[in-house]
Chains A and B, each alone.
Chain A
């Protein structure tokens, strides 16, 4: 149990980052991370004993996120990034960077969920 605390706790900020990058909505993202942590706690004993906790946690979070995004897609179009409240974006863009940031987010939004997830995992989270 203390083993789990030691290995999982330091990863929570990065898990939040990935969830928010993928879902955009900060509340949904934190709920998803909570689901992920609950799963990790209940399945801690099922993971390979010497396996790395990091990719294992990202895999749980990624699968939860993708299934939630698919559910959302079935229920109707999600909030386009232009209409998203300012605080839900990762950063409040400064004027000269704003356009570029929006283009980036819009481009990211156009990717299919699975590809967006993988891109973020590799590029932002540094998973290989």
Chain B
């Protein structure tokens, strides 16, 4: 029978008691013939025993409360529930905003004030302005009915601006949803058939907000607030056309409502 040569690994494995019975007796036989190796193994065994003895008492100490596994499981469960509730809320908000149209949040906080209003108006412009079948729900002939509907749902008196002096014809309107509640959407077109929308809804803050220009791709918008009611005009037109139109609406609504 040829013996496999005894390696350093075998000696270490003998000390660590990792050898099977057959190999173990081979290594023991080798040690019997090699006193130096025998001495080394003895020293290693003593060292191991000393280490085990030195650290053994730690494992018999009572486990501190800090390491109570049930507490750790429980502590982990609590904050996680809160986090997932927040995540669910954030997801719901995103869903509500995302449902409005094709604009992106760019991973930032949702806009507020007239910026939010402008985004809502542009989203509605993108959906309803290209609509050839039913761009409005109530036609201009029902403008009195539109004003009543908006006033009832927005819970304040809302007028329908007359922009004929600016060469804009009222097509009609509809009630739309925004993350800030219902809004009135009016649609106008000019003599070339270019469409504009005006979105109106109550603002969180009372009072006035100065007019701001917004760009959404090819569309441009102007948004402002007057006496707590927000307005946003959006159209795919030159600012040179839209800006005076926005001023006209602001002037008209200031006297009308």
**In the complex, what residues of B have CB within 8 A of residue A119's CB?**
51
Contact of A34 with B by CB under 8 A: yes
Contact with B along A2-13 (1 / 0, CB 8 A): 001100110011
Residue with the highest number of chain A CB atoms closer than 10 Å, among B48, B59, B61: B59
Known: A16-B63, A100-B50, A123-B52. A8 touches B69 (CB 8 A): yes
Residue-by-residue, is A93-128 near B (CB-CB < 8 Å gives 1, otherwise 0)?
000000011001100100000000001101110001
For residue A33, CB closer than 8 A to chain B, the reply is yes
Residue A65 lies at the interface, judged by CB distance under 8 Å to chain B = no
Would you call A16 and B61 a contact (CB within 8 A)?
A: yes
Closest to B45 in A: A123
Given contacts A13-B60, A13-B61, A41-B76, contact A33 B55 (CB under 8 A): no
Residues of A within 8 A of B60 (CB): 13
Q: How far is the CA of A13 from the CA of B48 in the complex (A)?
A: 19
Instruction: Considering the complex, give the chain A residue whose CB is closest to the CB of B56.
Output: A17
Which residue, A21, A119, A123, has most C-beta atoms of chain B within 10 A? Answer: A123
With A5-B70, A30-B66, A122-B16 known as contacts, the answer to whether A13 contacts B59 (CB < 8 A) is yes
- Minimum C-beta distance from B184 to chain A (A): 50
Contact between chains at B51 and A124 (CB < 8 Å)? yes
B67 touches A123 (CB 8 A): no
| Residue A82 interfacial (CB < 8 Å) | no
Interface string of A53-78 (1 = CB under 8 A from B): 00000000000000000000000000
Q: Is B73 an interface residue (CB 8 A)?
A: yes
Shortest Cβ gap from A28 to chain B (Å): 12
- Whether the Cβ atoms of A30 and B64 lie closer than 8 Å is yes
Q: How many residues of B contact A (CB 8 A)?
A: 25
> Contact mask B47-84 → A, CB, 8 Å, 1/0?
11011111111111101101101101100100000000
Known A-B contacts A13-B60, A16-B61, A100-B50; the reply to A124 vs B72 at CB < 8 A is no
Contacts of A20 in B (CB 8 A): 55, 58
Query: Cβ of B55 and Cβ of A124 under 8 Å apart?
Result: yes
Q: How far is the CA of A104 from the CA of B54 in the complex (A)?
A: 9
Find the A residue at minimum CB distance from B15: A123
CB contact between B67 and one of A1, A30, A108 (< 8 Å): that residue: A30
Central interface residue in A5, A34, A108, by most chain B CB within 10 Å: A34
- A42 at interface, CB cutoff 8 A: yes
A8-47 at interface with B (beta carbon < 8 Å): 8-9, 12-14, 16-17, 20-21, 30-31, 33-34, 37-38, 41-42
When distances are taken between beta carbons in the complex, the residues of chain A under 8 Å from B64 are 30
